[in-house]
Structure 1
Amino acid sequence: MLYIFDLGNVIVDIDFKRVLGVWSNLSGTPLAILSERFSMGEVFQQHERGEVSDEDFAEKLCEEMGIALSFEQFATGWQAVFVALRPEVIAIMHRLRSEGHRVVVLSNTNRLHCNYWPQHYPQVAEAADHMYLSQDLGMRKPDANIYQHVLNVEGMTAGQAIFFDDVAANVAAAEALGIKAVQVTDRHVIPSYFAQ
């Protein structure tokens, strides 16, 4: 079988409120205002597909939110999204590989985050056979072509794959292709899935 794991809130806990908290402190802009203005809109999606540089992304997002931050300040906030590793998921990934399954990560991410999490959470790459990252592929979930790409490279059919993601739209897109998909709504979902 091919087991496909998302990264954020599946293997590693993330929280965008932490990002906005840092930017609020650095810019002197109230958190409530940043929360209203921050969106995962077009520039966010372009960044995840590797279509805009980190610097351009920072500039455009600061413009959208009406704040003035240096690139370093922006990056400090951006990296604050990562909370902690879920060791129980890492253990399951290792177990699946020891049983002869393929285990891969499929994540919508970006260069700026990839400068951070692989150093702080090396356990992720150690537990996976391969990392499929949106900015390397020029595609992002829930685009059907990113799932098809993973299946093609892995030499698997949709029926041979199981996908874990925290975002409902990503789960629905995988299911539409015939992949068995599980929405990870909290940290108990994956351990209880494999306990059955």
Structure 2
Amino acid sequence: MKKTPDADFLIFDLGNVIIDIDYDKAIRLIKNELSDSHHSKVDQLYRTPFHFDYERGLIDSLTFRDAVRDYFEQSWPDEKVDELWNNLLGKIPAHRLELIKKLKQHFQVGVLSNTNLIHIHAVNDILLRDHGLKNFDPIFDWVFFSHEMGLAKPQAEIYEKMLTDLGTSSDRVVFFDDLPANIKGAADLGIHAVHVTGPNVIFDFFKDV
């Protein structure tokens, strides 16, 4: 194995680590549904209070959909809101899941993701369609979703709750994420955090496993 930290747990973000994410595509497709006067709102969608509340599970999907409709002044049906919201989700490449299965022979593996119920339903549909899996449970030992925890990265509390649930200390965990703020949040607590800057990073990290 490549020189890696002496660890018991490998924890992975979902977006652009396990599943491909394309924010630009989602923003473009939402803008296609709106007049130019609303385009600046699309650019701020992922920074809205209702988005932050939704990924922390502080509001339910019905409330979130209503907030989207109000924000854009549209009367979209629920299905349209979900379609536009899920447009950022791409493929879950099989070789990433195969890597996780391989690593599971040597470590406990888990997910720590800022997400929400609409996205997770769509991700589970992708898993079933492409891999015959109903969810991530057969792949990962641990699944930590922000909307179920009431917390979100890069809050220190979400990493602390994860460590408590794992029953371990920060030095026994390696964490992989694509966002610098989330990497810093984990590293500040002593977790060995690896910044995933491209599709080959996790494979290079474990190339000798």
- Percent identical residues: 28
Q: Does 2:160 correspond to 1:148?
A: yes
SS in 2 for 1:94: helix
Which deviates more, 169-178 or 119-128?
A: 119-128
Q: 1:132 aligns with which of 144, 148, 152?
A: 144
Q: 1:4: which partner in 2?
A: 11
SS in 2 for 1:140: coil
* Pairs aligned (count): 194
Shift of 1:66: 4.1
Q: 2:130: which partner in 1?
A: none
Q: 1:109: which partner in 2?
A: 115
Q: Does 2:174 correspond to 1:162?
A: yes
Which deviates more, 180-189 or 111-120?
A: 111-120
Shift of 1:153: 1.2
1:37-71 CA deviation, whole Å, 9 max, x = no partner? 42323211110111111122122233334444222
Within 1, Cα distance between the matches of 2:30 and 2:76?
Answer: 8
- In the TM superposition, what are the counterparts of 1:13-24 in structure 2 within 5 Å? 13-24=20-31
1:15-44 CA deviation, whole Å, 9 max, x = no partner? 12333344334x343595454342323211
SS in 2 for 1:127: coil
Instruction: In structure 2, list runs of 5 or more residues that go unmatched.
Output: 1-7, 128-132
Q: Does 2:130 correspond to 1:118?
A: no
Q: Partner amino acid for 2:151?
A: M
Q: 2:5: which partner in 1?
A: none
Q: Partner amino acid for 1:154?
A: L
TM-score w.r.t. length of structure 1:
0.89
The answer to whether the 8 A contact 1:93-1:127 is kept is yes
Within 2, Cα distance between the matches of 1:38 and 1:195?
Answer: 38
Shift of 1:192: 0.9
